[in-house]
């Protein structure tokens, strides 16, 4: 980031959850921000402590609050953590927000277990961004998923030729978008399946809500940038509207973040996004925990590899979770496949990510303070 102190933007990224957490804590300390750590009940891949770490810049009673989060989908935290660390190191950015009276809340690793274990899901095998429902009410059905579920997790891995042929036939007949939509919308019938939304709030859901209640209940205006990866062209940060299907809110997000048309804000409500229509999304928590606030949010979605490759990486990872007896070499290959799907470990990609995130952060502050 322009205006950073110390290390450059590429050095903000990490090769493990433990390293990412250390960099976040160090960057927060250097910025003289206190950190509150919500400890996860399970250990990490290497036995390390896991936590949702929270750092806040700005007055507790600030009327405007910008939230920047990472690792909703664990393995995507390699990107999101880098963005947060770069922002914390960026004195110009921090002074810009402070001068305009905007408090900034950095929440590192919403799903620390998935981050550490290089999995997209939580330790409950739940997609956190499909878990925000009123579980006292009937849950939405995903009938197309019922059709593709038998194709997703074959008895062996890699899938046998007949499975690959069946998947190819589905895509040829229905299209890649239909395959993506059926899988990713969210489902509640197959606990071991993909994009499972759960039947109760996860640890990450409940802990995030606690953080949001404490830090958001005084704000009159709340903005949220949630960092994601895995959809779209490599290195391109798609600004996907993240809120209710409310025309005024969509219009406000587009005014704040579209960069005069250079960086359009898309929406799955109108079909302009690379994302399919989804259910149980995290943004529901803001309306429920901060009902007094005017809310405006986006998911910043950075592309990595083609979406079919991302889906195949997720299929492989779920298969591996169901087959812990898999040979070590195969397990290693699958984890490498997952990492490639959600994190491009090149200097060029990292610099693209930080540059676009920084622009979106400044745009958010301008919107909140206008």
Q: What is the pLDDT along the chain (370 residues), one digit of tens a residue?
A: 544 444 677 899 999 999 999 999 999 999 999 999 999 999 999 999 999 999 999 999 999 999 999 999 999 999 999 999 999 999 999 999 999 999 999 999 999 999 999 999 999 999 999 999 999 999 999 999 999 999 999 999 999 999 999 999 999 999 999 999 999 999 999 999 999 999 999 999 999 999 999 999 999 999 999 999 999 999 999 999 999 999 999 999 999 999 999 999 999 999 999 898 899 999 999 999 999 999 999 999 999 999 999 999 999 999 999 999 999 999 999 999 999 999 999 999 999 999 999 999 999 999 999 9
Instruction: Specify the residue for token string 């593709």.
Output: 148
Closest CA to 106 of 88, 90, 127: 88
- pLDDT at position 139 is 97
Closest CA to 342 of 297, 305, 291: 305
- Cα–Cα distance measured from residue 366 to residue 204, given in angstroms and rounded to the nearest whole number: 30
Name the H helices within the chain: 17-30, 77-89, 91-99, 112-116, 143-152, 161-174, 176-184, 203-216, 247-257, 284-289, 307-322, 328-342, 347-369
- Cα–Cα distance measured from residue 64 to residue 50, given in angstroms and rounded to the nearest whole number: 30
- pLDDT at position 2 is 45
- pLDDT at position 277 is 87
3-state class (DSSP) for residue 348: helix
- pLDDT at position 10 is 86
- pLDDT at position 7 is 65
Separation in Å, CA 40 to CA 140, 272, 295: 29, 37, 28
Query: What is the reported pTM?
Result: 0.96
- pLDDT at position 71 is 98
- pLDDT at position 212 is 98
């Amino acid at each position: 980031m322009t205006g950073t102190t110390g290390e450059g933007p590429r050095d903000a990224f990490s090769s493990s959850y433990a390293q990412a957490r250390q960099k976040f804590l160090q960057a927060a300390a250097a910025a003289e921000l206190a950190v509150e750590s919500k400890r996860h009940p399970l250990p990490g891949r290497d036995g390390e402590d896991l936590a949702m770490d929270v750092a806040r810049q700005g007055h507790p009673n600030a009327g405007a609050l910008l939230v920047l989060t990472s690792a909703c989908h664990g393995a995507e935290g390699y990107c999101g953590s880098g963005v947060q660390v770069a922002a914390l190191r960026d004195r110009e950015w921090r002074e810009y927000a402070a001068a305009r009276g905007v408090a900034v809340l950095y929440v590192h690793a919403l799903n620390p277990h998935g981050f550490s274990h290089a999995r997209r899901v939580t330790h409950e095998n739940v997609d956190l961004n499909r878990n925000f429902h009123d579980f006292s009410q009937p849950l939405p059905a995903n009938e197309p998923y019922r059709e593709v579920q038998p194709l997703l997790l074959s008895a062996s891995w890699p899938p046998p030729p007949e499975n690959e042929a069946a998947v190819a036939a589905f895509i040829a007949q229905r299209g890649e978008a239909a395959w993506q939509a059926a899988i990713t919308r969210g489902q509640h019938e197959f606990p071991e399946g993909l994009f499972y939304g759960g039947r109760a709030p996860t640890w990450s859901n409940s802990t995030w809500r606690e953080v949001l209640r404490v830090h958001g209940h005084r704000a009159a205006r709340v903005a949220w940038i949630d960092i994601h990866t895995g959809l779209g062209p490599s290195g391109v940060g798609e600004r996907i509207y993240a809120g209710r299907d409310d025309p005024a809110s969509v219009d406000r997000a587009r005014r704040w973040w579209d960069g005069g048309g250079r960086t359009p804000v898309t929406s799955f409500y109108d079909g302009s996004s690379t994302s399919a229509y989804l259910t149980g999304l995290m943004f529901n928590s803001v309306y429920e925990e901060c009902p007094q606030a005017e809310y405006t949010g986006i998911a910043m979605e950075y592309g990595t590899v083609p979406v079919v490759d991302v889906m195949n990486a997720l299929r492989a990872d779920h298969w591996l979770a169901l087959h812990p007896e898999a040979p070590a070499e195969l397990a290693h290959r699958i984890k490498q496949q997952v990492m490639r799907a959600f994190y491009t470990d090149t200097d060029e990609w990292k610099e693209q990510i930080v540059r676009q995130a920084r622009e979106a952060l400044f745009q958010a502050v301008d919107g909140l303070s206008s």
